[in-house]
Amino acid sequence: MYRFAPLLVTILIVACSGNQADRGPDTTVAASPAAPDTTPWTVSLTAYGPIRMGSGRAAVLDALGAPQRVGQGSPAEECEYMGIPDSPSMRAVRLMVVNDTIVRVEVDSLPVATTWGDRVGDSESAVLQRHAGHVQVQPHKYTGPKGHYLIVTTPDDTLHRLVFETDGQRVTTYRAGLRPYVDWVEGCS
């Protein structure tokens, strides 16, 4: 069988190639460049749009269509932040990078929502209602009993969390990502 494989491949190539005149005029249409994606990205426990927690910095650049610079830039720090440029809504988002791995996304502005519809500025009661049965309320480290952390988890995922910070009434910022990084109150500090 294997000694006939080259002959079989040759026959298939000849049969499929044919002459352009035999196939008629070329009716293929060149693909036009895709329109820019204007769909707003949302934050889940595991991702921000196509950027998944646990992926490398290169995956972020790919998702953004940004060029990767080989051999340029500084070596990865143990913990640093990566901003997302060129979009007003994306400026409200920072990605925490630990050892060149995306571990957390932080949102501090209104336009960026979670997949459940939560946003900065939402009331605590709205967040508690949306995530009923999956949210734990803790006092805020710096504002004491006035503010809260609303910590959203799911029983089937112990690696990721969504943490809302509030002033006691409204969401002031939120973050999602891998544990233990999502639990770090001071970020990379």
- Whichever domain contains 145, its CATH number is 2.60.460
Which domain covers residue 104, as residue numbers? 43-67+75-183
Reported for 135-143, long-range contacts at CB under 8 A and 24+ positions apart, including other chains, are 140/165, 140/166, 141/185, 143/167, 143/168
pLDDT given for residue 110 in this prediction:
76
Say if residues 163 and 174 touch (Cβ distance below 8 Å).
yes
pLDDT tens-place string over residues 64-94: 766 555 444 445 568 988 877 655 555 678 8
With respect to residue 149, please indicate whether it lies within any of the assigned structural domains. yes
With respect to residue 147, please indicate whether it lies within any of the assigned structural domains. yes
pLDDT given for residue 89 in this prediction:
54
With respect to residue 59, please indicate whether it lies within any of the assigned structural domains. yes
With respect to residue 115, please indicate whether it lies within any of the assigned structural domains. yes
With respect to residue 35, please indicate whether it lies within any of the assigned structural domains. no
**Kind and range of the H or E element at 179?**
none
Each residue's pLDDT expressed in tens, for the chain with a length of 189 residues: 434 333 333 333 333 334 444 434 433 333 333 334 445 689 999 999 888 999 988 877 776 766 555 444 445 568 988 877 655 555 678 899 999 899 999 998 878 899 999 999 999 999 999 999 999 999 898 887 789 999 999 989 999 999 999 999 999 999 999 999 999 999 887
Q: Where are the beta strands (DSSP E) in 51-131?
A: 51-52, 79-83, 93-98, 101-107, 113-114
* Token pair in block for residue 52: 């998944």
With respect to residue 151, please indicate whether it lies within any of the assigned structural domains. yes
Q: What is the DSSP string of 14-49?
A: HHHH--HHHH-S----PPPPPPPP-SPPEE-SSEET
pLDDT given for residue 39 in this prediction:
52
Residues 102 and 121: their CA atoms lie apart, in Å, by 26
Total count of domains within the chain: 1
With respect to residue 21, please indicate whether it lies within any of the assigned structural domains. no
How many angstroms separate the most distant Cα atoms in the chain? 81
pLDDT given for residue 83 in this prediction:
77
**Kind and range of the H or E element at 177?**
strand 171-178
With respect to residue 91, please indicate whether it lies within any of the assigned structural domains. yes
* Token pair in block for residue 93: 């988002």
